[in-house]
């Protein structure tokens, strides 16, 4: 498995990837019922501004298939950032999400950000458990009912977590 920054040409990998993401996982990621991701949304996900955002794609080296993606968008102030993550559904529960989160956290720390934050649906137990184990603090999202806000102050991250 190769983990590298998402590039424009990876737009071509999205349709095959999304074919193997369940509607439920799309809801957990985008907080809305959608049976498919529109080409417009894929276009938006691909065209991020590298000065203020980063996305890493996991690729199966042998087949070139996209296995997952984790992204990080800076807040307006540029000191903190918000992440989101999505995997091929049948690959869940084998440690790929953990690996990608660790990679994103190491990148954020290296970039000098103060914290990374995410919004997670309250019923998304896997994500909340994983964030807890990674050291994130969890509170009820002040703006949205049924949503938790998870925050990781990067000065609290152990070097052991982000070492390769």
Ligand X SMILES: CC(C)(COP(=O)(O)OP(=O)(O)OC[C@H]1O[C@@H](n2cnc3c(N)ncnc32)[C@H](O)[C@@H]1OP(=O)(O)O)[C@@H](O)C(=O)NCCC(=O)NCCS
Q: Which stretch binds ligand X (CB under 6 A): 59-67, 86-94, 104-112, 155-163?
A: 86-94
The string over 97-121, giving b where at least 16 C-beta atoms fall within 10 Å of a residue's C-beta and e elsewhere, is beebbbbbbbbbbeeebebbbbbbb
- Chain-centre distance of CA 58, in angstroms? 11
Choose between 46 and 121: whose C-beta lies nearer to ligand X: 121
Does residue 130 interact with ligand X by CB under 6 A?
yes
Beta bridge partner(s), residue 74: 81
d(CA 108, CA 103): 9
Does residue 164 interact with ligand X by CB under 6 A?
no
Beta bridge partner(s), residue 56: 5, 70
CB 87 within 8 A of CB 96: yes
Residue 87 phi, psi dihedral angles, 5° rounding: -120, 160
Choose between 52 and 94: whose C-beta lies nearer to ligand X: 94
Does residue 23 interact with ligand X by CB under 6 A?
no
Q: How many residues bind ligand X (CB under 6 A)?
A: 22
Of the residues 44, 47, 90, 94, which one makes contact with ligand X according to CB under 6 A:
94
Of the residues 60, 64, 129, 140, which one makes contact with ligand X according to CB under 6 A:
129
DSSP run (H or E) holding 130? helix 125-134
Choose between 4 and 94: whose C-beta lies nearer to ligand X: 94
Which residues, 95 to 124, sit near ligand X by CB under 6 A?
A: 95-98, 118, 120, 124
Does residue 126 interact with ligand X by CB under 6 A?
yes
Does residue 133 interact with ligand X by CB under 6 A?
yes
Does residue 148 interact with ligand X by CB under 6 A?
no
How are the residues of the chain apportioned to helix, strand and coil, as percentages rounded to the nearest 5? 40, 30, 35
Contact residues: ligand X, CB under 6 A:
25, 28-29, 84-87, 92-98, 118, 120, 124, 126-127, 129-130, 133
């Amino acid at each position: 498995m190769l983990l590298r920054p998402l590039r424009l040409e990876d737009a071509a990998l999205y349709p095959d990837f999304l074919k193997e993401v369940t509607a439920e996982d799309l809801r957990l990621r985008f907080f809305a019922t959608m049976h498919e991701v529109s080409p417009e949304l894929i276009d938006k996900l691909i065209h991020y501004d590298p000065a203020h955002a980063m996305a890493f794609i996991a690729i199966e080296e042998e087949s070139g298939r996209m296995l997952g993606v984790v992204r990080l968008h800076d807040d307006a102030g540029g000191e903190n950032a918000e992440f989101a993550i999505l995997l091929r559904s049948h690959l869940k529960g084998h440690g790929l999400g953990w690996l990608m989160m660790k990679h994103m956290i190491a990148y954020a720390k290296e970039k000098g950000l103060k914290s990374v934050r995410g919004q997670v649906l309250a019923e998304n137990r896997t994500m909340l458990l994983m964030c807890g184990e990674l050291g994130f603090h969890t509170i009820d999202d002040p703006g949205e009912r049924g949503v938790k806000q998870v925050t990781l102050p990067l000065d609290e991250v152990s070097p052991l977590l982000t070492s390769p």
